[in-house]
A and B are shown apart, each in its own frame.
Chain A
Amino acid sequence: MSSWPRYRDDAAANEPAVTLDAFLDQPEAVAVRIEPDADVRVLVPHLSRLKLIEIAFPAYRDGRGYSAARILREAGYTGELRAEGDVLLDQIAFMRRCGFDSFAPAVPLDAKAAEAAMARWPHAYQRAADAQPPIWALRHG
């Protein structure tokens, strides 16, 4: 499955994302799909073999996937982290900050509007999973 926008230079994983249960059973699997109620910490021992983790957003209001993404990045995951489903224009900047680097919105985003949304915030107040220094770091060098 292709995704857009994508903020990675490597080639997208071709392998299909399997369910968490299937992934834990299949030592050769490299792509997994995470539902909102899953505990992503069970993936931590397996991160080095993973190329793609797809986090499902069945409804934009369900914000569990934001925590899941940050937890994976905090655990050192460097592969593709994709937000799939009810992913809206006005959310992708926050998702990027939580560590998502590719998006598969159920309703495709308008390219120009997505670019504008990503460029909207000049700074951030808090540290998250991206490289952006928080405002307090800018203030105190």
Chain B
Amino acid sequence: MYRYDQYDQAMVDARVAEFRDQVERRLSGAMTEDQFKPLRLMNGLYLQLHAYMLRVAIPYGTLSSTQMRALADIARKYDKGYAHFTTRQNVQYNWIQLKETPDLLADLARVEMHAIQTSGNCIRNISSDQFAGVAGDEVIDPRPHAELLRQWSSFHPEFSFLPRKFKIAVIASDADRAAMRLHDIGIRIVRRDGVLGAQVFAGGGMGRTPMIAPEIRDFVPEDQMVSYCEAILRVYNRHGRRDNKYKARIKILVHETGADKFREEVEAEFAHMQPLDLDPPRAELARIKAFFAPPEYAAIEDGYDTSDPDFRIWAETNLFPHKQPGYAAATISLKPVGGIPGDASAEQMDIVADLAARYSMDEVRVTHAQNLVLPNVRQDRLYALWQELDAAGLAPANLDRASDIIACPGLDYCSLANARSIPIAQEVAKRLAPIEREVGALQIKMSGCINACGHHHAGHIGVLGVDKKGVESYQLLLGGSAAEDVSLAKITGPGFDERGIVDAIETVTSVYRDAREGDERFLDTYRRLGMAPFKEALYDKA
């Protein structure tokens, strides 16, 4: 794992001191809420329906046990004992007092964490593959490249007042587990003729106008990746729309300019930047890579005892193959049926921290599907791990199944929401859990408004909460994917009320179960048959 040196620590400490000063000026009345707002937003502090919400960055979703324990302590000390893991691999606290935030940030800084650029119109936390470093299909661990970009983008003097927020994801395999092409910049680390570099996509995103990012460059050598990103950001900062907040993301610029013309502009800026010495030297990437060197694995063979049937179900569902023989990456589902997707109590976080220390070489990952991962578990200790998880209520065997739902906070917390998403997710999970093993891989994603924080465009089944003349109503979407077979979901037709949407999801699932061929997933059947049979079952009941 990456560790701060004196420079990283000095920067984070300076930020804490700055924010302490700003909060004092606000509380004394020297600053108005209007003046304070952009400053608190730079520190991830939002004013929500009932209290302040603080978003803490988890760079590329990687945490140590110590950091997880610190997050649990913060939940106890400053919140009501809970934390919420988000679709951008971050963590949020929903019940924060303004006057306590400087102390909270200082607690974070002590474990090399921060809330820098977790909101505002700047470059946000860099996300990555939750199985980085352990996936057999990766070219290389993408996290050093993500860390290089984290540092480059932190306190960037030119790009802190962009037209809109800016999100970057970095992966390093053909499989896409980070929704890479639904980011403002998506990077895939590739090897071409023995040289490592970045395949660069730009202009993807969800929100009210979802777009899949087109490729902007097939290959830029890794030691020019930073200046290439700088060139993209400069073109965006200069030419991105500022007249309409809903058209201000880079996806609109790329779309309106056209990918070819946009690429030309970026290439011209990139060429202009080459003499400016903007790229860190190879030695810097090498320094960072050393932190991510593979741990000391034991020389053991694959295989473990699955005689306990409950354990076997969990192992079949929640394990991911590890590149090291005899090891596995285990997903801890934060989606118990009836729970709040992505929520964890302080006690559960302590347990996860403890299990990571004892079973997973001290590491935890956060996934964009709001689950946690223990990436380095010996297979011969999986059963023991599962027993401890099960005892703590952390062993739902539902990874990528119907009850593993992504849902945004919705009307229960979010001031922008049109509708509730958590209770709907809970109802759907309850309804489908009994048949989910038989249904197989199914990704359901729900957003409480058009801003799409719950990624509904990218769900095999998506749900979007809308406000219909003051009544909460839900649109149903089918056919999205955030993976390497990326696609955007389409609306089925008229929306449903709260009960109706749960029935509707059950209906489309039945259509799939009746029509599937071989081992088709829901998504495959939808792609083969199209919308018609689903629509018919939903609306032609009369």
In the complex, chain A residues whose CB is within 8 Å of the CB of B35: 88
Residues of B near A123 (CB, < 8 A) are: 7, 10-11
> Taking the complex as formed, is A4 at the interface, i.e. its CB lies under 8 A from any CB of chain B?
no
Q: Which of A64, A74, A136 meets B276, CB within 8 Å?
A: A74
Are B155 and A63 interface neighbours, CB within 8 A? no
Most buried by B among A63, A93, A124, A134: A63
Task: Give the residues in chain A near B21, CB-CB below 8 Å.
Answer: 116
Within 8 A of B (CB), among A72-107: 74, 88, 90-91, 93-95, 97-98
Report yes or no: A126 in contact with B284, Cβ–Cβ below 8 A. no
Inter-chain contacts of A127 with B (CB < 8 A):
276-278
Minimum C-beta distance from A77 to chain B (A): 14
B392 to chain A minimum Cβ distance, whole angstroms, is 39
B161 contacts which chain A residues (CB < 8 A)?
60-63, 66, 91
> A62 to chain B: which residues have CB within 8 Å?
161, 242
Contact B38 A97 (CB under 8 A): no
Which B residues are in CB contact (< 8 Å) with A51?
none
What residues of chain B lie closer than 8 Å to A124, measured between beta carbons? 155, 157
B157 touches A64 (CB 8 A): no
Contacts of B278 in A (CB 8 A): 126-127
A2 to B237, CA, bound (A): 29
Compute how far the CA of A94 lies from the CA of B226 in the bound complex, rounded to whole angstroms: 19
Selected from B22, B39, B152, B234, the residue in CB contact (under 8 A) with A125 is B152
Q: A123-B10, A125-B11 are in contact. Are A64 and B237 (CB under 8 A)?
A: yes
Bound-state Cα–Cα, A124 to B8, Å: 10
- Say which size band chain B's interface belongs to: 35 or more
List the A side residues contacting B121 at CB < 8 Å.
61, 63
Interface majority SS (helix, strand, loop, mixed), chain B: helix
Using an 8 Å CB-CB cutoff, how does the interface string of A111-129 with B read, 1 for contact, 0 for none? 0000010001111111110
Residue from B157, B276, B283 within 8 A of A66 (CB atoms): B157
Tell me the bound Cα distance from A135 to B8 in angstroms: 9
Size class of the A contact interface (CB-based, 8 Å)? 35 or more
Given A62-B242, A67-B237, CB of A139 within 8 Å of CB of B158: no
Report which of B151, B234, B272 forms a contact with A135, defined as CB distance below 8 A: B151
A94 touches B238 (CB 8 A): no
By a CB distance below 8 angstroms, the chain A residues around B234 are 67
A63 adjacent to B11 (CB under 8 Å):
no
Given contacts A120-B18, A122-B10, A126-B152, contact A139 B276 (CB under 8 A): no
Indicate if B507 sits at the interface (CB-CB under 8 A).
no
Q: How far is the CA of A36 from the CA of B238 in the complex (A)?
A: 9
- What does the 1/0 interface line of B1-45 toward A look like (CB < 8 Å)? 000010110110010011001100000000000010011000000
CA A62 to CA B278, docked complex, whole Å: 24
- Chain B, residues 147-186, CB within 8 Å of chain A (1/0): the string is 0000110111111111000000000000000000000000
**In the complex, what residue of chain B is closest to A57 when comparing beta carbons?**
B161
- B470 close to chain A: CB less than 8 A: no
Given contacts A66-B158, A90-B22, 15 further A-B contacts (CB under 8 A): A60-B38, A70-B158, A91-B161, A94-B160, A121-B11, A123-B11, A124-B157, A125-B156, A126-B226, A126-B278, A128-B157, A136-B280, A138-B7, A140-B281, A140-B283
Q: Can you show 8 pairs from A to B with CB atoms below 8 A apart?
A: A66-B158, A66-B161, A98-B157, A120-B17, A125-B155, A126-B151, A127-B278, A140-B284
